[in-house]
Structure 1
Amino acid sequence: MDEHTGDLGAVTGPEPDRGEPFTGRDAELGRLFRAVESAAADPVVMLVGGMGMGKSALLGRAVRRAEASGARVLRAVGSESEAHLAFSALHQLLRPLAAEVDGLPKRQRAAIQDAFGTGPATPGHASAPDPLLIGSAVLSLLSALGDRQPVLLVLDDAQWFDRASLDALSFAARRLVGEPVTMLIAARDGDHVAGFDRHLPTLVLEPLDHAAANRLLDRQPRSPTGRTRTRILDQAAGNPLALVELARAATAQDAAAGLPSAGPLPLTAHLERIFAARLDGLPADTTRALLLLAAMDSVDSPIAVPAGLPNAEGGDPWLPAERAGLVRRSGRDLRFRHPLVRSAVYHAASAGARREAHLTLAELLRDEPDRRAWHLAAACPGPDADVSAELERTAARARRRGGHASAAKAFQRAAELAPRREDSARLLVEAASAAVFTGDLAWVEELAAAARARTDDPSLLASATVQAGRLAILTLRHSTVFSRLTDAAEGLLVSQPAAALALLADAAVVRFYSGEDTQRRRVQDLLGRLPEDASSTGLRTWVRAVSDPFADRAELVSLLARFATEAKARPERLTTAGITAWLLDETPQAVRAFDEAFDRWQVQGALPEGLGGAVAWAYVERGRWDQAREACARTVALGRAAGLDHAAACAATVDATVLAYQGDTTAARARADEALALIDPLESRSVSVYARRALGAAAAADGAYETAYDQLRLAFTADGTPVHYHASFPALAELAAAAVRSGRREDAAAIVERCARALADNASPRLRALISRARGLLADPEDAEPHFRAALADPALEHWPFERAQTLLDLAEWLRRRRRIAEARAPLTDALEIFRRLGARPWIERARAESRAAGLDVTDVVPDALAELSPQQQQIVRLAARGLTNREIGEKLFLSPRTVGSHLYRSFPKLGITARSQLRDLVDGALAPAGHQG
């Protein structure tokens, strides 16, 4: 693969604005000016158009306007040949900020330095920087710059930015609201810019109309006339660059050969031909210099200019190129006038000349092994084991830095250069393994297919299939993916049982997402036909728990200890062990595993995702809602960066549920609706049920119990069967609570009893408690107490504090209505304490009202002041009370330090305090019991 075949010119930024009038772009220019001048404007604006439509010129004018108004401008230009180098675009953008990077918090600074390959080397340490930490570092840098002056980021030819840079920049872009930072992004029409393709204000540069095109020709130094003008207008088709360059070529003395005698040519080919014609008659040294510049990986002209070029008889080899309109210079800054010039120069050279140019650059770049490897690869006329090995090392370095797309490209190119087919197949499997983390399923499948075409090795064939399966489970095509995974597993049952089990593990996840019962039977059949292997106990337990956690729950719980022990020896399995525990309602064990996993992965890169929102759900159940929302933010960021809508939808439903519990019902409904919009409810029953539970909780928080019941009822079929075999059951108690208040007792009671029969002895203690609470709510008043007492009997149920507090409140309400007021006070006090600690505002109000009716004095205003804050403000206040700085809080919640400070500023008056030092006492007071008998 030749990475130097693109049209991108070696330029360092948008064309400088020299004040020339624009033609036909008044509206677009005005929109860009408003973006760079107004703090209320959109923080990110996309500029889209075909090659030569004037994107760079418009950006240049916007840059001039921003600089004139005192803004700090940072620029980066994409390079097709650098798209495989992880963080190369980000490095170009942030290179002027070395001092500011040094001032970042230690972890953020280290992440940026590691990404750029400038951090201290640690022997034997192969950790990758956390992409979210890098995104937070970029956000911190921009926020800090914005404290001093407005900031403008200009990203030109962004379609050729490397994926790692785009992930970091898109992460920051989504959090720029309220910051004096504007981002202008220019990209080729029809090209995808990862992370920036949804819901952004976009200016599309259309071709100039006939009148504007004529005005542009009129402004040329030698304006064409007559038939020549007509032909230029026809062939340029409104493209400003084509109009200018065709006019220049047509009016030159020797331009006759530049324009064909009849008929139009493809526009790009025609322009390249014209630019290439300018090379004729240039001195040999100039031609060689231009080819070196065209072959370069970056805009680093200080390398190209002194690249061992002999002067042309003592003259300047670049001067003839300047006179020919091919390059522009400003001091040591040298660049092509337009991307087409670079393309024309490169393709006009012979294959031998191009190869020689790349070898020259490789020699100059001995201290930059990654760029050197790609130049050596470009110089290879055929397979080369040494260069293949160089690229493999480049890929390994990129993967350690978290540049998965760059790693995959390097592995893929190394495979193309590997002389031995088996080596090529192995490298393609490695490429597929790295590409999994880009979210590009088509690419992963292409790499896996190429690997299969190169080898008969059963192990490599199985690995290729497994890699494709790893990513497929996170897409929305669950039915198709499940069939593919199970068919592949069946074919490997005998020859490659370990690979077959790995595929079954992925198939079980698809079964969880879809909730389809026929898939459970298929998984169980294949699992039963696999030969027994003691080393596979953990993975077998996973398959059984994920596909049917309540079939043999007691046995599966007994296997958890062994699974946990295995995870201690192999830390990468911690999340797998945690998710298994969560599925079995062993939530405390799950949270311990997740805590340890987060601690370990802080220094190893992004936490591997298992079953979407499982981590966040476990934290919700344990009452650690702030951490649940942090986990959701992480998953959503990773899912969006990789284009994995299903993962983002999973996390959105958990976030919606917490927001509903905290009383931010408008935000909760928006998040739940967002999740539902991303999935097909028949393909993703788990996400659909979670979203309905969140919408039900939001309605209940608002007191709209009929709506709450309607939403929660959708977690069950018309005959009362759970829509999802795991996600529906926890909704039973909430369904009953809404039923009581909306006159649906009979329907709800039938569903509760049907589910109780289905679970029978396999129900977890948690589910038994929820069913008992539901029965208490639905029972006749004289029969309710035993059910409430049963729901509170097991001390272990304190591990689910919100559910326990709801039951305590239900019992207290029942006791007070039976005029057993003294007995009601203890459960009321306990419930109110828990609700306060969690920040569950709607339930705090219910418990306070019930407490007053029971004669308790609950006028303690200060602790309740926390409940008046928004959920996000509560998170920030609690973290600040623990002593975290604004930067540290922003790093945890993926917010800028400025946004954190703004939330604290607005929170202090509501809390009745004036200093940060008062937060700890206030938060501690909110967690302490406050009610007492009046």
Structure 2
Amino acid sequence: MPSNTEGSALRGRRRERDTLDRLLRDVRAGHSRVLVLRGEAGAGKSALLDYLSEHASPGRVTRAAGVEPESEIAYSALQQLCAPLLGHLDGLPEPQRLALATAFGLSPGDPPEGLLIGLAVLGLLAEAAAEQPLVCIVDDVQWMDRMSEVILTFVARRLDEESIALVFASRSPGDEQILGSLPELRVDGLPAAEARALLDSVLPGPVDDRVRNRIVAETRGNPLALLELPRGLTPAELAFGFGGQAAAPLASRMEEGFRRRITALPANTRQLLLAAAVEPVGDVTLLWRALERLGVGPDAAAPAEAAGLVEFGARVRFRHPLVRSAAWRLAEAADLREVHRALAEATDPDHDPDRRAWHRAHAAVGPDEEVAAELERSAGRALARGGRSAAASFLERAVALTPDPKSRAARALGAARARLDAGELNQVPDLLAAAELGPLEPLQRAGVERLRAQVAFAFNPGNAAGPPLLAAARRLEELDRASARTTYLSAVGAAVHAGRLAGGDLRRAAEAARGVPAGDEPAGLFLTGLTAWTLDGYAHAVPYLRRALETMTADENLHLLWLAGPVAHEVWDDAAWFRLTERAVGFARATGALSLLPTALAFRSGALVFAGRFVDAASLVDEADALGQATGMAMHPSASLTLAAHRGRELPAMELIDATVKDADARGEGRLLGLAGYARAVLANGLGQYPAALHAARQATEYVDLAVFNWTLGELVEAAVRAGETEVAAEARERLAERTGAAGTDWALGVQSLADALTGASGRAEDRYREAIERLTGGQLGLQLARARLLYGEWLRRENRRADARTQLRAAHEAFATMGAEGFAERAGRELLATGETVRKRTLGEPVALTPQEAQIARLAVAGQTNPEIGAALFLSPRTVEWHLRKVFTKLGIGSRRELAAALRDR
């Protein structure tokens, strides 16, 4: 289709052209921009991308397109987009360079995590854009492979000041979930006058105005439909609504028009179009080699080009994706197999073994072990590049071609594992059913059961998840002790998460797990500790749980963070908590461990809340939310709930708490109910609403939730004392003492001292308050320390020791205000006023406040990290880091990194 501004393809597109022109101006000015063009088939999205490409000068353009036959090949679209830029690969840090080279099959290596590949692509684009503005265009996103979509969505969210435009085109309706929440431009039908003028240019003769108006209305101004639907139809057919097809979807009607035109072509030209449609990357040389094997010569291309269906240049390019689709769907099965066979023979087995295997698989008529084995090898290569979805696709096709039932079952089981690892859970049950059709070894059968349980847990980690995991663990016990142990741990962990909604699942899982030798590695110690916690009581469990935390010294143990985080709270080990969460975030960022990062961000954010670093905690929550939108991996809500409760903004906090309760009830996640109760109690205590805090804390402590129970007992003591419920407070204090005494850490004993001071005799209260403050001062528990000072100051005021009270209350008020704990700050402020002191409202912004991201970058720079190292830690390009640092320097009134540390100290 014509792509100049006066051509038919861009009639009536001034609004869209203006948007693209602004985008290019911004990119030339040094800013990055992202845009998704959405519209139905034939709306002119590709023509607008052509316009963007033609007007991008002096910038550089790189293009890619999703191709339906290639939608299962991992990174295929991403590799198209990045291939022209690989000359900048050496400019990336080594982990990123190796990850990208491995993902693209340029070099062997360990399977890279998707996050590291995303960071590498971001760096690659930034390196290229440092030379000249870069315009990256991706068409037909609806057919893009999943891994390319995930990576490009991640990159799109991280672009900032790199002079990069990333523009996508996706078909709608039906594909709105692709690249969700990125900026969009709707590409709708042409205005009526423009649509009529375009239609007049292709009508075969005079047509009644009413017929013309009907055509325009039925096509809704779709340019391609206006151009294509009238072709080959008589005026009589046009008068009756396109030969009676008006009820068909517009894309189907346009594809039918292309089918009619393809059918009218010579047989060898139709075969040429079919081969071009099946060959996914537009490789002209490869296509001609395949056509030679089919006996089709170069002269067959002329009729297709003359019909305006395809162009042959440096690459093969169809007039529209619907032409490719029409050519493909028109083919008989035998013709399609013959084309795949020719393409397989023409593909270099050393250069591109995976596409060759894919073509061979589709050329096969029946079972073929040789081809199935080749597909299995391709699956292995896909896994080595991190392409789990592609590996599963290769294995699924191998299953269909495998003649031996035993091998077929094993491959089906492997495909199911790959689908589970890829997060494509809906496809796992059918593959497991296929595996069960063949003879399975006992260990394989147990593996099927375990995978089915893991899928159930992933779909719903609530009270339905524990029983199938327990059944799988029991089956594995006599077959594979190591797998049984980890599955028992998963079963116990699922029951712990289900909490009060688990029924007797936790006890049953713990009793069954006790018979398995646990070992001295972290997983074994956690299992021993949790079984003791369930069956024998808190004091018996503490030594095992503490030892499990101590043995988590190797990075390969960080996958247990989901359990280690709550356990650290359960045994009041703040040192292990801060150590493990900091290391986990650093490890996940450095290695791109996408499976670990959401959990690491959640627990690190929670640690920062308890440290009183609310801004940093909120920054990690925002980062996790963005990661979740890009990958579908949601962060556990604990950090968001804890942060909202301590911030003390009642309405948004209650909305979040209520939403959590509703979701937890629906999914059977009882521990979240306890967490929501704790959050309510904290919020109400901060706001001075003590009866409400008492009610929430009593409900939350009706069940002993791991870690949450400890936190909530402290809130219950405080709320009960302030509400005048002394017996309730005393009982809660005793329950707390059973646990803090067994734990014995400064954190535990400091919390106990506060409870003793609140509930004990007045004559001993001051000593207990002082002991609490002393014990909590040594660690990183700034929030807990501020609350201890608040409680001590309130007691001093009630003892009429106003001067002493002001010292403690002033320190608490300043700490809470600095943190952003607004509820507790107001409570401390009211107490200060009662002592006779005037409380000055604290003004933030003197000097201008740094944003959370600027503050993170500044701290990392002070720590001596380079711009590339900071970028790797925060998933930013070095150029964006440099841009943020310049803003930090301006806000702080300094000129270089050398002055940064002192400026931050002054603030």
TM bucket, shorter chain:
0.7 to 0.9
Q: Deviations over 1:718-768 (max 9, x none)?
A: 59646955325325556777899xxx4336x66654544445523444345
After TM superposition, the structure 1 stretch with the greater mean CA deviation from structure 2, 483-492 or 461-470, is 483-492
Q: Residue 745 of structure 1: which of 719, 723, 726 is its match?
A: 723
Matched, 1:118 2:118: no
Distance in 2 of aligned mates of 1:626 and 1:545: 35
Q: Specify the SS of the correspondent of 1:298.
A: coil
**Distance 1:597-1:877 versus aligned 2 partners, 3 A rule:** closer
Q: How does 1:523-922 map to 2 (within 5 A)?
A: 523-529=506-512, 532-535=515-518, 539=523, 541-542=525-526, 552-560=537-545, 563=548, 571-572=556-557, 575=560, 578-579=564-565, 580-592=567-579, 602-603=590-591, 605-606=593-594, 608=596, 613-614=602-603, 616-618=605-607, 635-636=624-625, 639-645=628-634, 647=635, 649-650=637-638, 652-653=640-641, 676=660, 679-680=663-664, 683-684=668-669, 686-687=671-672, 705-706=687-688, 716-718=697-699, 721=702, 724-731=705-712, 733=714, 744-746=722-724, 752-759=729-736, 761-763=738-740, 764-765=743-744, 766-776=747-757, 783-792=764-773, 798=779, 800-804=781-785, 806-807=787-788, 810-811=791-792, 869-922=850-903
Write the letter of the residue equivalent to 2:77.
A
2:401 maps to 417
Q: How does 1:265-344 map to 2 (within 5 A)?
A: 271-279=254-262, 282=265, 285-305=268-288, 307=290, 309=292, 316-329=299-312, 331-344=313-326
**Distance 1:423-1:310 versus aligned 2 partners, 3 A rule:** closer
Q: Specify the SS of the correspondent of 2:541.
A: helix
Contact 1:474/1:644, CA 8 A, preserved across alignment: no
Q: How does 1:393-472 map to 2 (within 5 A)?
A: 393-472=377-456
Contact 1:721/1:751, CA 8 A, preserved across alignment: no
The structural deviation recorded for 1:624 is: 8.6
Matched, 1:67 2:50: no
Matched, 1:171 2:154: yes
Write the letter of the residue equivalent to 1:451.
A
Distance in 1 of aligned mates of 2:851 and 2:482: 49
The structural deviation recorded for 1:405 is: 2.0
TM-score (norm 2): 0.80
Contact 2:545/2:571, CA 8 A, preserved across alignment: no
Distance in 2 of aligned mates of 1:739 and 1:868: 39
After TM superposition, the structure 1 stretch with the greater mean CA deviation from structure 2, 611-620 or 53-62, is 611-620
After TM superposition, the structure 1 stretch with the greater mean CA deviation from structure 2, 157-166 or 407-416, is 407-416
**Distance 1:648-1:719 versus aligned 2 partners, 3 A rule:** closer
Write the letter of the residue equivalent to 1:249.
G
Distance in 1 of aligned mates of 2:723 and 2:486: 45
**Distance 1:379-1:494 versus aligned 2 partners, 3 A rule:** same
**Distance 1:211-1:467 versus aligned 2 partners, 3 A rule:** farther
Write the letter of the residue equivalent to 1:387.
V
Distance in 2 of aligned mates of 1:688 and 1:181: 45
Write the letter of the residue equivalent to 1:746.
G
Distance in 1 of aligned mates of 2:696 and 2:383: 42
2:838 maps to none
Q: Specify the SS of the correspondent of 2:233.
A: helix
Q: Specify the SS of the correspondent of 1:19.
A: coil
The structural deviation recorded for 1:381 is: 1.7
Distance in 2 of aligned mates of 1:898 and 1:42: 11
Distance in 2 of aligned mates of 1:443 and 1:350: 28
Q: Specify the SS of the correspondent of 1:309.
A: helix
Number of matched residues?
886
**Distance 1:452-1:25 versus aligned 2 partners, 3 A rule:** farther
The structural deviation recorded for 1:374 is: 1.2
Contact 2:674/2:701, CA 8 A, preserved across alignment: no
Distance in 1 of aligned mates of 2:23 and 2:658: 30
Q: Deviations over 1:65-86 (max 9, x none)?
A: x526x55544321112222222
2:336 maps to 354
Distance in 1 of aligned mates of 2:817 and 2:757: 25
TM-score (norm 1): 0.78
Q: Residue 47 of structure 1: which of 37, 57, 61 is its match?
A: 37
After TM superposition, the structure 1 stretch with the greater mean CA deviation from structure 2, 833-842 or 44-53, is 833-842
The structural deviation recorded for 1:785 is: 1.5
Q: Specify the SS of the correspondent of 1:86.
A: coil
Q: Deviations over 1:201-250 (max 9, x none)?
A: 54555667987765442221635736997997798676543442231222
**Distance 1:916-1:224 versus aligned 2 partners, 3 A rule:** farther
Matched, 1:241 2:228: no
Matched, 1:473 2:490: no
The structural deviation recorded for 1:44 is: 4.0
Contact 1:431/1:447, CA 8 A, preserved across alignment: yes
Contact 1:439/1:644, CA 8 A, preserved across alignment: no
**Distance 1:156-1:872 versus aligned 2 partners, 3 A rule:** same
Q: Specify the SS of the correspondent of 2:510.
A: helix
1:6 maps to none
The structural deviation recorded for 1:910 is: 4.7
Write the letter of the residue equivalent to 1:439.
G
Write the letter of the residue equivalent to 2:78.
L
Q: Specify the SS of the correspondent of 2:36.
A: strand
**Distance 1:739-1:536 versus aligned 2 partners, 3 A rule:** same
Contact 2:190/2:222, CA 8 A, preserved across alignment: yes
Return 5+ residue gaps in structure 1 as ranges: 1-13, 855-860, 927-934
1:29 maps to 16
Return 5+ residue gaps in structure 2 as ranges: 836-841
**Distance 1:564-1:690 versus aligned 2 partners, 3 A rule:** closer
Contact 1:788/1:811, CA 8 A, preserved across alignment: yes
Distance in 2 of aligned mates of 1:495 and 1:319: 65
**Distance 1:15-1:213 versus aligned 2 partners, 3 A rule:** closer
The structural deviation recorded for 1:889 is: 1.8
Distance in 1 of aligned mates of 2:60 and 2:102: 25
Distance in 2 of aligned mates of 1:706 and 1:923: 34
**Distance 1:544-1:804 versus aligned 2 partners, 3 A rule:** farther
Distance in 2 of aligned mates of 1:84 and 1:118: 19
Contact 1:44/1:184, CA 8 A, preserved across alignment: yes
**Distance 1:595-1:414 versus aligned 2 partners, 3 A rule:** farther
The structural deviation recorded for 1:896 is: 4.4
1:80 maps to 68
**Distance 1:48-1:313 versus aligned 2 partners, 3 A rule:** closer
Distance in 2 of aligned mates of 1:406 and 1:154: 23
Contact 1:213/1:243, CA 8 A, preserved across alignment: yes
What fraction of aligned residue pairs are identical, expressed as a percent? 32
Contact 2:70/2:145, CA 8 A, preserved across alignment: yes
Q: Deviations over 1:257-279 (max 9, x none)?
A: x9869997676666555434444
1:11 maps to none
Distance in 1 of aligned mates of 2:194 and 2:587: 61
The structural deviation recorded for 1:917 is: 1.1
C-alpha RMSD over aligned residues: 5.3
The structural deviation recorded for 1:879 is: 0.4
**Distance 1:920-1:726 versus aligned 2 partners, 3 A rule:** same
